Amino acid sequence: MEEEREKSTNARVKEYFIDSPNNPKKKRCTLCQEERDIAGSVTHLKDHIISIHKDIADGLGLKANQKRKKNNRPSSSVSDNNSSGLDEMLEAEIITPETIKKVRLTINLNDFLKEYIQMILSKNLSFSSADSIGKMTHVHDILSAFNTTFNRHKLKDYVLSSYKQIINIITKEVEGFLLSIMIDSCSRHNRNVFSISIRYLKDGKITERTIGMFTQTGRQTGAALSEQIKDALIAIGKTIDDVYCSCSDGGRNMQKASDLIFEGQQVIRNLCGLIYENTEDIETFLSTLDLLEENEDELITSNNTFEFEIDEHSDQHLYESSIGSKFPCGAHKLQLAANSVNSIADVNKILTEIRKIAIESKKLAYRHLFENVSMPKSDVSTRWDSSFIMIKSFKDNQDIYQNFDVNKLKLTAEQWTFVNDYYDLFSPIHEAMLYFQKKDVTISDCYIQWLLMEIRISKMKDDKFNMRSYLLRAIKDKSQSFFESKAFAACLILDPRINWRSGNEIFSNDLLEKGINHLVRIYHKMTETYNLPQNNQQEQIATVETEDQALLRQYLLGDSETFRDTSVDTFTNIRMRILEFVHNEPRVSMIQNFNVLKYWQTKRHQSSSRSLYDLSQVIFGAPFTQTKVEREFSTFGLVYTHLRTVLSAELLNAIHVVKSNLDLFPKVKLL
């Protein structure tokens, strides 16, 4: 009897372990992922359960350094109808009588399964671990009560089902919105992955969603990436016409993909306008549109040009152009500015020396020196701001590091001077980089922070290594690409902190004109697609102009009689409404706690500002950085591992999307 009891206990202990994928001589605990040597058979596994998982050890009747008690079967019974598993355990005399309690549990099977799915996805477990989990006694008994099972095949079905439901939820969320996209690709664990995230503004709050992370098998050309963007948009009920802004780094394939998306918008719009204008009946027009749809890819990628005869005073050419705008990732631009300083010969030499010391300090021989202080960090070329973080780790513990008696870990006086100068100079950049990565910040918020950073650096004294002058030039140079973006100009126009009348050369009339034209295009798209009111009489503005207003109108718009007509059309009205806001709206001081999103929320129900509010909900949703995508890349270690080398690209994409939108996971119904 004693031998049978011991054998039953051993079998149940083994249920908590799976084979180690790294070492055939070890077992991995499914509860904590710790691995144990199996040379001593089940004894080592028991010791692990006793020392780490005491509650389970008590349930199994395992006692440290003691002989197992002989258990007596209790005379009482459990009234629950689904107690067969518990009765089986009692018959095996595993649980001592004093540990048994009569309980009645109410279990939601949907939530029960989702807990294990989330654990497997987030804890780097193989899909085969679902087989072991499904055989665990308490899991098996609960699933048996519901007449179901849990294994690797079920797990795959559940993950794919969760992905489809999350995509459907996102589809409903973005209905009626113009979107901005963030795109980038990276290589991890011998895999190339292209990530697509969306961003939009609703009720003053910014929402970001990952809609696809696709494993790449062929060449990552701009054309191929643009097709994947289209497919990802179609999956959430959107087309390229619904993309307002694309944010990416300076990679040529990323830039080309964005260009093709926005060229696609422009070609289709222009063709539709031309065909409709030159066809006499609607049937001909519709049949021509069908032809267009069949040849859309060829038209978009071709070099065909289309000529239009448009009146020089007409705004129609503005509306037929693409509504899309590229914006370069601000964090990448700032990192490039920092790298230009780091690449200076003298600076690079000292950074290399300090990096070697940081790496040396991690050796086992020096661990005792860092018992009460953190180790210095070494930088990584691809990580934002990592050189400053390395220097900061030395600066923060300078008093302690200077007292080390190990020559290999000592910094020279010149190196300490460099550490202090570098820390002071790059602190504003570090603060700006952290600010850029906040979720609820807009392009104009970040550009104001950029200007503040630039001003702080300009006021600093020159350092021994002449880094300040190099850095200032690089910052000014990298910021020039912002001014090429229509989304950038539009954000500045609707931000009341920007004073276009200040005479500052940064906020030029050319930039103002570009932004106004872009805002008019966006408004046309919104009225065309989302049925905004086109003739709101309450928004008609006064036609009596001051002299300054007349000069500004003439400079920006030309001296057209259209703008003096009291019965102006919708798009002339929105243009003049924008000018009215720029010229007459009180400016807001540069206070740190000012929130431009809340500012426009307060104007939501003001009839005189409704059209500008509608515009603000599009243009302030555009991102300054692609932080969302970069954060997804940091999770690759939990997805692309040797445990998942055989998973399909479809399943890997589903894992990514589910993990990236975990706030939607509670809404998923598995059964």
pLDDT digits (tens, 9 = 90+) for 551-595: 444 444 444 333 333 334 566 788 889 999 998 888 887 766 789
Are residues 426 and 389 part of one domain?
yes
| Cα–Cα dist 267/279, whole Å | 18
Q: Where does a domain end: 420, 448, 481?
A: 481
User: What integer pLDDT is reported at residue 233 of this predicted model?
Assistant: 95
**469-493 mean pLDDT:** 94
Contacts of 494 (CB under 8 A, 6+ apart): 519, 581, 600, 612, 615, 616, 619, 620
User: What integer pLDDT is reported at residue 543 of this predicted model?
Assistant: 41
585-627 residue pLDDT tens:
888 877 667 899 999 999 888 877 888 999 999 999 999 999 8
**171-180 mean pLDDT:** 92
| Cα–Cα dist 541/205, whole Å | 30
Grade residue 3 by pLDDT with cuts at 50, 70 and 90.
low
User: What integer pLDDT is reported at residue 596 of this predicted model?
Assistant: 93
Looking at the domain assignment, is residue 155 inside a domain?
Answer: no
Are residues 398 and 410 part of one domain?
yes
Residue 506 has pLDDT above 50, yes or no: yes
User: What integer pLDDT is reported at residue 231 of this predicted model?
Assistant: 94
Are residues 472 and 339 part of one domain?
yes
User: What integer pLDDT is reported at residue 625 of this predicted model?
Assistant: 93
**256-270 mean pLDDT:** 72
- The amino acid occupying position 556 is L
Contacts of 208 (CB under 8 A, 6+ apart): 182, 197, 198, 199, 439, 628
Are residues 221 and 334 part of one domain?
no
Looking at the domain assignment, is residue 289 inside a domain?
Answer: yes
Residue 97 has pLDDT above 60, yes or no: no
Mean pLDDT over each residue of the chain, to the nearest integer: 78
Looking at the domain assignment, is residue 142 inside a domain?
Answer: no
Are residues 434 and 556 part of one domain?
no
What Å distances lie between residue 189 and 194, 629, 634, 638, 651, CA to CA? 14, 18, 12, 11, 17
Are residues 416 and 554 part of one domain?
no
pTM attached to this predicted model: 0.71
The pLDDT > 70 percentage for the chain reads 75
More confident residue, 70 or 225: 225
Residue owning tokens 């350092």: 463
Contacts of 541 (CB under 8 A, 6+ apart): 573, 576, 577, 580
Helix (H, G, I), strand (E, B) or coil at 670: coil
User: What integer pLDDT is reported at residue 649 of this predicted model?
Assistant: 85
Helix (H, G, I), strand (E, B) or coil at 655: helix
Domains held by the chain: number: 4
- Give me the domain span that covers residue 612: 485-619
Grade residue 12 by pLDDT with cuts at 50, 70 and 90.
confident
Contacts of 209 (CB under 8 A, 6+ apart): 170, 173, 174, 197, 198, 199, 660, 661
Looking at the domain assignment, is residue 447 inside a domain?
Answer: yes
Are residues 370 and 308 part of one domain?
no
Looking at the domain assignment, is residue 118 inside a domain?
Answer: no
Neighbouring CB atoms inside 10 A of 569's CB total 13
Are residues 391 and 355 part of one domain?
yes
User: What integer pLDDT is reported at residue 316 of this predicted model?
Assistant: 38
User: What integer pLDDT is reported at residue 634 of this predicted model?
Assistant: 75
**338-344 mean pLDDT:** 92
H and E: helices and strands count for the chain: 28, 8
Strand order in the sheet with 26-29: 17-19, 26-29, 35-37
Residue 136 has pLDDT above 80, yes or no: yes
Through-space distance between the first and last CA atoms of the chain, rounded to whole angstroms: 43
User: What integer pLDDT is reported at residue 222 of this predicted model?
Assistant: 87
Torsion sign (Cα): 160, 161, 166, 171: positive
User: What integer pLDDT is reported at residue 281 of this predicted model?
Assistant: 46
User: What integer pLDDT is reported at residue 378 of this predicted model?
Assistant: 86
Residue 180 has pLDDT above 80, yes or no: yes
Residue 400 has pLDDT above 70, yes or no: yes
User: What integer pLDDT is reported at residue 668 of this predicted model?
Assistant: 92
Structural contact between residues 18 and 105, judged by C-beta atoms closer than 8 angstroms: no
- Kindly state the tokens that stand for 289: 């549109």
Are residues 74 and 7 part of one domain?
yes
Looking at the domain assignment, is residue 134 inside a domain?
Answer: no
Looking at the domain assignment, is residue 150 inside a domain?
Answer: no
- Kindly state the tokens that stand for 376: 């210095």
Are residues 419 and 533 part of one domain?
no
Count how many residues are written for the chain. 671
User: What integer pLDDT is reported at residue 558 of this predicted model?
Assistant: 42
Are residues 512 and 450 part of one domain?
no
Looking at the domain assignment, is residue 122 inside a domain?
Answer: no
- Kindly tell me the burial class for residue 85, based on how many C-beta atoms sit within 10 Å of its own C-beta (0-12, 13-18, 19 or more): middle
Nearest to 48 by CA among 59, 58, 61, 34: 34
- Kindly tell me the burial class for residue 584, based on how many C-beta atoms sit within 10 Å of its own C-beta (0-12, 13-18, 19 or more): exposed
Q: Where does a domain end: 104, 125, 151?
A: 104
Are residues 471 and 531 part of one domain?
no
Residue 171 has pLDDT above 90, yes or no: yes
Structural contact between residues 474 and 340, judged by C-beta atoms closer than 8 angstroms: yes
User: What integer pLDDT is reported at residue 176 of this predicted model?
Assistant: 87
